[in-house]
């Protein structure tokens, strides 16, 4: 029974968004592309232990690969954390490939051993530099359903290439995008609360 409960909790953490532990922040990131070399965008959102949005961003890259967009999302997320002197951060993405690549960087693997592409190496160099100045940052792969808000931001950038966001959430003016993000954040928290109650009742 205990093992089954533990397995359910682990499955829930992979499939549904859940708040970080007390004293931690969580950043979900994603990259989006119309096709492999079409309009590409990346986005991300930082939330606290109560599920409240603190910071969000999305940028259009023009023509690029989805892998590049995913890595640029990591780069931007780490840059924001560094500028705000943040620590105790969990970073989640639904791209297992990019998660594994960045984990290698955090373990000290050289950029050239991760990728031979010079543009990717430049991004890896920035990521590794950010990691050296940050404390207690971990990376987790989750399913797409657990990454809906970051996916929403990245997709918005693909369909609205002239719209870019990088700001504290409370400073963002009212808009359709803000309303959609607030609604998705509330849904994420509601689903987590429902599953947490179910797991606790077993």
Residue 165 lies in a domain: yes
Give pLDDT, residue 36: 63
Residue 52 lies in a domain: yes
Output the six-digit token pair for 126. Answer: 């920035």
Q: What is the pLDDT of residues 42-54, one digit of tens each?
A: 999 999 999 999 9
Mean pLDDT of 181-190: 93
| Contacts for 158 with CB less than 8 Å, ≥ 6 apart | 32, 33, 34, 39, 40, 41, 60
Distance separating alpha carbons of residues 64 and 154, to the nearest angstrom = 14
pLDDT at 4 over 60: no
Distance separating alpha carbons of residues 11 and 130, to the nearest angstrom = 31
Q: Measure the CA dihedral 17/18/21/22, to 10°.
A: 120
Output the six-digit token pair for 158. Answer: 């693909």
Residue 89 lies in a domain: yes
Give pLDDT, residue 6: 53
Domain residues for the domain of 130 are 2-194
* Better-scored residue on pLDDT, 33 or 142: 142
| Contacts for 51 with CB less than 8 Å, ≥ 6 apart | 19, 185, 188, 189, 192
Distance separating alpha carbons of residues 186 and 103, to the nearest angstrom = 30
Output the six-digit token pair for 2. Answer: 């205990």
Give the CATH number, domain containing residue 38: 3.30.420.10
Distance separating alpha carbons of residues 57 and 160, to the nearest angstrom = 14
pLDDT at 2 over 80: no
The tally of domains found in the chain comes to: 1
pLDDT at 68 over 90: no
Ramachandran class of 140: left when φ > 0, alpha when ψ lies in -120 to 50, beta otherwise: beta
Could you write out the DSSP letters of every residue in 121-132?
Answer: HHHHHHHHHHHH
Residue 96 lies in a domain: yes
Residue 60 lies in a domain: yes
Could you write out the DSSP letters of every residue in 101-122?
Answer: HHHHHHTT--HHHH---HHHHH
Per the document, the length of the chain is 202
């Amino acid at each position: 029974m205990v093992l089954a409960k533990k397995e359910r909790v682990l499955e829930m953490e992979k499939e549904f968004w859940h708040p970080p532990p007390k004293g931690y922040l969580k950043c979900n990131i994603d990259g989006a592309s119309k096709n492999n070399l079409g309009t590409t965008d990346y986005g991300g959102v930082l939330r606290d232990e109560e599920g409240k949005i603190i910071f969000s961003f999305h940028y259009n890259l023009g023509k690029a690969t989805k892998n590049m967009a995913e890595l640029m999302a990591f780069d931007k997320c780490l840059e924001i954390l560094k500028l705000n002197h943040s620590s105790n951060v969990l970073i989640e993405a639904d791209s297992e490939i990019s998660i594994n690549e960045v984990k290698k960087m955090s373990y000290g693997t050289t950029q050239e051993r991760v990728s031979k592409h010079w543009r990717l190496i430049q991004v890896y160099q920035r990521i590794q530099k950010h990691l050296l100045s940050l404390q207690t940052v971990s990376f987790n792969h989750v399913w797409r359903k657990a990454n809906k808000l970051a996916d929403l931001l990245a997709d918005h950038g693909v369909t609205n290439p002239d719209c870019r966001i990088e700001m504290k959430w409370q400073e963002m003016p009212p808009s359709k995008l803000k309303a959609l993000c607030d609604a998705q954040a509330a849904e994420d928290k509601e689903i987590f609360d429902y599953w947490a109650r179910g797991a606790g009742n077993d």
